[in-house]
Amino acid sequence: MSALHHDQPLRLMTVHAHPDDESSKGAATCARYVSEGVEVMVVTCTGGEAGSILNPAMDIPEVHADMPGTRRREMARAAEILGVAHRWLGFVDSGLPEGDPKPPLPPGCFALEPLEVPTEALVRVVREFRPHVLVTYDENGGYPHPDHIRCHEVSVAAFEAAGDPDRFPEAGEPWQPLKLYYSHGFSKARVLAFHEAMLEAGMESPYAEWLEKWDDSRPDNGARVTTRVACGEWFSVRDDALRAHATQIDPTSRWFAVPLELQQRVWPTEDYELARSIVDTEETNAAPGDDLFAGVRERVGA
């Protein structure tokens, strides 16, 4: 296993299923760490080829004719805005099966790849970039899209394998990331906080119907959060990166309904769950930490 050297830059890798996921999940955290000199790489598992055009302004023949190329260009622009390095893992978007019964996933898609295949591909990138911290989704994928669930499985497998010289020996010199996090977005507490703050300010809340239909029998991921990264100052960068994915993000949608100043006042953090750690850290749900590199900085002398 590669030894850690003092005074090296900290490195963060976030692993996502599709282009645009990096901008809707943890983008302000990435932008904050970039501003502090951390090297950040976003890995996108699929090309997003099966994505629908969700912005009416982009529902044009040129986009339909080259959806893969469009999404690559959008991703490049978002990475530029966030200041991150970017790597495609190269797998095919599985799409989101809809209907009853649901149709089978298309042959050759990411979610049907044997786990070892994308795991080796990600291990190769991990050993090349050598991140100290890896961020991905929880076992539910954030939401149950087959690519998100497979992204979780691949990320966890790669975290475990990357430092093992007996696993994928042709994929580069072993490197063990020190922490693995799951990103958590819309907990009920966060949605409710925005909803109530907007009503209090005399604005119409976009979350009323969502809250009415909220299934309280399902576990709330807010109960799993161990780490809250203060990054409100970078919410505008996050939003610019989101808008770069013009086929996927309607600028009039709920994503942008809550005024930035209200978000920064009511919930100025992005929230994570520490899933694995090889360093000593005191982050818990009862006493959340505030730094993805807690315990790592001491180890590497950063």
Could you read off the pLDDT of 174-205 as tens digits, one per residue? 999 999 999 998 899 999 999 999 999 999 99
Name the burial class of residue 190, with classes exposed (0-12), middle (13-18) and buried (19+) by CB atoms within 10 angstroms of its CB: buried
Q: Does 199 reside within a domain?
A: no
pLDDT for residue 39 is more than 80: yes
What is the average pLDDT score of the chain? 93
Q: Is residue 3 assigned to a domain? A: no
215 part of a folded domain: no
How much is the average pLDDT of 227-250? 96
Structural domain contains residue 52: yes
* Structural element, H or E, at residue 135: strand 133-136
Backbone φ, ψ for residue 32 (5° rounding): -65, -50
What is the predicted pLDDT for the residue at 6? 46
Range of the domain at 103: 11-186+221-257+268-300
- The overall longest dimension of the chain from CA atoms, in Å, is 61
What pTM, to 2 d.p., does this model score? Answer: 0.94
Is residue 207 domain-resident?
Answer: no
183 phi, psi to nearest 5 deg: -85, 140
Q: Is position 200 within any domain?
A: no
In a domain, 192, yes or no: no
In a domain, 69, yes or no: yes
Between the alpha carbon of residue 276 and those of residues 172, 282, 302, the distances in Å are 23, 13, 21
161, 169 in Cβ contact below 8 A? no
CATH code of the domain in which 178 resides: 3.40.50.10320
Q: Is 21 annotated as a binding residue?
A: yes
132 is in an annotated binding site: no
Number of domains in the chain: 1
Q: Cα 65 to the chain's mean position, in Å?
A: 28
Query: What are 132-152's pLDDT values in tens digits?
Result: 999 999 999 888 899 999 999
